[in-house]
Structure 1
Amino acid sequence: MYLSAYLARRFEGATMQLTGPQIGEVRDAIVATFTENDLDEFTLIKFDLRFDGIIGQGNLNKRALHLVEYFNNRGIVADLVREAYAERSHVEVWQRLDKLYGARPPTTLQASLRTTTAGPAGAALEAVVEPRLKILNMELWRTGEAQAQARVCRVDIGPTPKGTGFLVGPDLVLTNYHVLTSVIAEPEAATTVKCVFDYKRLADGTVQQGRAVALAGGDGWLVDKSPPTQAELDDRPEATMPGLNELDFALLRLAEPVGAQPVATATAGPRGFVPMPGLQPPLPTHGALIIVQHPDSEPVSFALDTDAIIAVNANGTRVRYATNTEHGSSGSPCFDMDWTLLALHHLGDPNWRSPGYNQGVPIGLIANRVTPHLPAG
């Protein structure tokens, strides 16, 4: 179950979580002041969520506990308290709980050369309005962008661009399983696959056609793989919960270690590769997310949304976000603002007329599978 796009966009401020006794306080207030019908209406109208879908069966006491835990586990229980208070502002218990748990977090303010903390009404000459968006070092950020651009490739089957991939080792490219489904089914077609690096539009508007690199020969080209769910292939991603063996990735070995070679000239440094994190980096609601991609088979580009991450699903196998993609973006790397790899992009909302999300696979799950194949360190 995902938080809806509406719900994720509704919340503001830093996340918070309650202790067990505090969860009990909020649960008791819900049981004392809401009926089950009230809760059905409350969660649907306020959060675009169906009460039954969130917490299943049971008596009101049990279901209220599950509701609070659902919000608390996502770090957004303060918003549940605030909305409950708005509905029951005349009730003393909600007046108290709103002051305790529903208040917006303090804002960090910068004044002169010191940093102070003030409440929402605090004043200073400068303010960090969005604490989740830190101020970045331009040189480091531009270096990370240039490295990411050089390490991303377009994946072609024969003359047809099929998706995007990126280097995770000197001769290893990560992309989606579904980008290469036909080749995985008929391995002899692997000789027609090319990974095209440096296909980009230059500052003067001309397009650099890039460098096509073949896959390794024989059966050594497919190092590891994991399919998507059948429901995802059928454009019904909500139908089943993906398992840990349904991560929609293919790890490919190239015919040459392009990552160890210079990007352009003999004097340039090696291209390098995107480091895979040892543990899953945070995927906070509202977090920024950058996708470096070949959208619609075009030269390498990136899309950035500073309020992107919508939610992670219940078992942590998928993450949804608002950063834009196009056909051909499948297999793209998703980064945070420090160019840390977060996820492997793999699909968009099947409701293409009015899409609400794009979706990726958290990279930590894939790293657990492929780390034995990656270079040490």
Structure 2
Amino acid sequence: MEQLSAGDSDRLSRLLAKSVNLDDLEQCVWLATGDHLHVEYVAEQLPLKRKINDLIRALEIDRTTPRLAAVLYQRKQFNAELRQTLLELFPGIDKVSPDAGPAFAVQSGGVAVADPAPATVPGLQRVIRPKLSNIDIGEWLEKLKALTRQICRIELDREGVGTGFLVSDGRVLTNWHVVEQIRKLDGLNRMEARFDYHASPNGTRPGQVIKVAAILDELPCAPGELAGQADARPEPDQLDYALLALEGSTADRGHIQLRPAPPVGRGDPIIILQHPQAATMKLALDDNAVIGVEFDGLRLRYHTNTEGGSSGSPCFNWDLDLVALHHLGDPALTNPKYNQGIPIDLIIASLSQRVPGEIAGG
């Protein structure tokens, strides 16, 4: 795309000066570029209009002004004059998808990385990739986008209880203790799965709700785990999973294939797609997450953050391969040290024996 003329640059600067405040500008620059306004582009002590002039001059040199224009177009939906001007200066930016996708929470070794950039900008690679092997970011994002269609919130009476994910057509895997909580409330006949429950610039998308028809298989967790005992040793068959059958097909969504997981070692990243606190879908990432295995391989521990409502979430490695089913966190009320999942290979072996044919291989 050609650079703006001096007149168009001045026109855009004047319009932005009356359309955005400093907070707006800082946030839009971060969303568009992955960089901080006052670190990479302009001096902090300048007045707003001068900051905007200097910012556009710098973005024009980098040829990244269209990125900022696209973000502004999406976020300033009620400013007709600004949107019309942006369309005139940057034809086609209205075709940019308004979906926000999953929110990111980036960590390293259990410590939050400040202000992680969204997935669509270069800053994300700069924040989370230096210690990791290179990936094809386009392919990775496409895979992530597909996965977001396969994650659901487990609900009772339209209230979130946990998280689950598709492992075959119409089959959802979650935790036994999520289902048990609903069972104790005599709510199994009212249990549902909500897909596509996302936040977007246009507001929360309610998604699609599908009724749970049956529980095909389940195994409990260790009683001590349910009671909040940090070192409760589970038995080999205490895998805290439940396989649910939904009413109707979900073939159009695809599913997460249950297949042997790649090796996971200390310090490896763990990525979790989840509905923490029953909220819209979130993505938590720690690039130095894995603490190790416990109880002769029956549990995997990691730093990646979760909250109530995350039970039943899928845990992935950096390549978005499924490695575990998240089920609990350190019960310590202060200074918790770990979160914990069930290695997916154990669940695959159990399902293959107990309900052969109910899950998709490959």
Pick the aligned partner of 1:327 from 298, 308, 312. Answer: 308
Deviation at 1:205, TM superposition (A): 4.8
**Corresponding residue of 1:139:** 138
Answer yes or no: is 1:271 the counterpart of 2:263. Answer: no
List alignment gaps of at least 5 residues for structure 1: 1-127, 261-269
Aligned-residue identity in percent: 37
**Corresponding residue of 1:350:** 331
Pick the aligned partner of 1:210 from 199, 207, 214. Answer: 207
d(CA) in 2 for partners of 1:356, 1:210: 34
**Corresponding residue of 2:239:** 247
d(CA) in 1 for partners of 2:285, 2:130: 19
Matches for 1:169-318 after TM superposition, within 5 Å: 169-184=168-183, 189-202=187-200, 204-216=201-213, 221-238=214-231, 240-258=232-250, 260=251, 270-277=252-259, 279-318=260-299
C-alpha RMSD over aligned residues: 1.7
**Corresponding residue of 1:28:** none
SS of the equivalent of 2:253 reads coil
One-letter code of the match for 1:339?
L
8 Å Cα contact 1:174-1:331 kept in structure 2: yes
Deviation at 1:352, TM superposition (A): 2.8
8 Å Cα contact 2:173-2:312 kept in structure 1: yes
Answer yes or no: is 1:337 the counterpart of 2:335. Answer: no
Q: How many residues align?
A: 230
**Corresponding residue of 1:62:** none
* TM-score, length of structure 2 as denominator length: 0.61
**Corresponding residue of 2:52:** none
Matches for 1:18-33 after TM superposition, within 5 Å: none
**Corresponding residue of 1:107:** none
Deviation at 1:184, TM superposition (A): 4.4
8 Å Cα contact 1:280-1:365 kept in structure 2: no
* TM-score, length of structure 1 as denominator length: 0.59
8 Å Cα contact 1:336-1:342 kept in structure 2: yes
SS of the equivalent of 1:154 reads strand
One-letter code of the match for 1:281?
P
SS of the equivalent of 2:149 reads helix
8 Å Cα contact 1:283-1:312 kept in structure 2: no
List alignment gaps of at least 5 residues for structure 2: 1-128
**Corresponding residue of 2:115:** none
Deviation at 1:315, TM superposition (A): 1.3
Deviation at 1:185, TM superposition (A): 5.7
Q: Deviations over 1:19-62 (max 9, x none)?
A: xxxxxxxxxxxxxxxxxxxxxxxxxxxxxxxxxxxxxxxxxxxx
Deviation at 1:314, TM superposition (A): 3.5
SS of the equivalent of 2:138 reads helix
One-letter code of the match for 1:206?
G
SS of the equivalent of 1:325 reads coil
Q: Deviations over 1:131-157 (max 9, x none)?
A: xx2111011110111111110000001
8 Å Cα contact 1:281-1:364 kept in structure 2: no
Deviation at 1:189, TM superposition (A): 2.9
d(CA) in 2 for partners of 1:335, 1:254: 24
SS of the equivalent of 1:140 reads helix
Matches for 1:36-55 after TM superposition, within 5 Å: none
8 Å Cα contact 1:168-1:274 kept in structure 2: yes
d(CA) in 2 for partners of 1:241, 1:210: 38
SS of the equivalent of 1:134 reads coil
Deviation at 1:244, TM superposition (A): 1.5
d(CA) in 2 for partners of 1:359, 1:129: 26
Deviation at 1:360, TM superposition (A): 0.4
d(CA) in 1 for partners of 2:279, 2:166: 19
Deviation at 1:363, TM superposition (A): 0.4
Deviation at 1:248, TM superposition (A): 0.5
Q: Deviations over 1:294-332 (max 9, x none)?
A: 011111110000000001014111010000111100000
SS of the equivalent of 1:147 reads helix
Deviation at 1:173, TM superposition (A): 0.3
SS of the equivalent of 2:187 reads helix
d(CA) in 1 for partners of 2:328, 2:270: 15
SS of the equivalent of 1:347 reads strand
One-letter code of the match for 1:156?
E
d(CA) in 1 for partners of 2:338, 2:325: 15
**Corresponding residue of 1:106:** none
